[in-house]
């Protein structure tokens, strides 16, 4: 975002989202699981991904459709945040976890300075 000035709203065009890995993972506190199936699963599970079919397969056989989106994005003065964007949600981005930020969308970010 070189050259962006205070008060401007940069536009980011998301053209494509590709998967870089053949697996994902999830972690959770098993003591909070009320489902007998999940309570027997380790606290961290690795999830094989079938990119051709766009599904992830959980250890107990359930297949979940994958719909990739951007969870973190934005702009900001990196010097103020230790060289990287904050994970906490802010008006300039951060941890957004918005499932609608998919290929073809164009988010606008508030004041980058």
Q: What is the total residue count of the chain?
A: 113
Which of residues 30 and 62 earns the better pLDDT score? 62
Same domain, 9 and 32: no
Same domain, 7 and 35: no
Backbone angles phi, psi at 52, to 5 degrees: -65, -40
- What pLDDT is attached to residue 47? 94
How many structural domains does the chain have?
2
Q: To the nearest whole number, what is the mean pLDDT of the chain?
A: 75
Q: Which domain holds residue 107?
A: 1-18+68-113
Same domain (yes/no): 105, 83: yes
Predicted model pTM: 0.58
pLDDT tens across 42-68, in order?
Answer: 678 899 999 999 999 998 899 999 998
Residue 107 sits in the same domain as residue 83: yes
Of the candidates 45, 68, 47, the residue with the CA atom closest to the CA atom of residue 56: 47
State residue 79 phi and psi, 5-degree precision.
-60, -30
Q: What percent of the chain has pLDDT over 70?
A: 58
CA distances from 109 to 41, 79, 82 (A): 40, 18, 20
Cα distance between residue 1 and residue 79, in whole Å:
14
79 and 110 in a single domain? The answer is: yes
Mean pLDDT of 108-113: 59
Sheet (strand 63-65) strand order: 23-27, 44-50, 55-57, 63-65
Q: Is 89 exposed, middle or buried (0-12, 13-18, 19+ CB in 10 A)?
A: middle
């Amino acid at each position: 975002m070189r050259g962006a000035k205070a008060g401007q709203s940069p536009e980011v065009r998301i053209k494509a989202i590709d998967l870089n890995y053949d697996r994902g993972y999830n972690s959770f506190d098993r003591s909070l699981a009320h489902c007998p199936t999940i309570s027997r699963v380790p606290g961290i599970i690795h999830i094989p991904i079938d990119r051709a079919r766009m599904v992830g397969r959980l250890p107990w056989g359930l297949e979940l459709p994958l719909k990739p989106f951007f969870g973190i994005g934005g702009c900001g003065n990196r010097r103020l945040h230790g060289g990287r964007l904050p994970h906490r949600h802010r008006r300039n981005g951060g941890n957004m976890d918005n499932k609608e930020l998919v290929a073809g969308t164009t988010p606008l970010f508030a004041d980058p300075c």
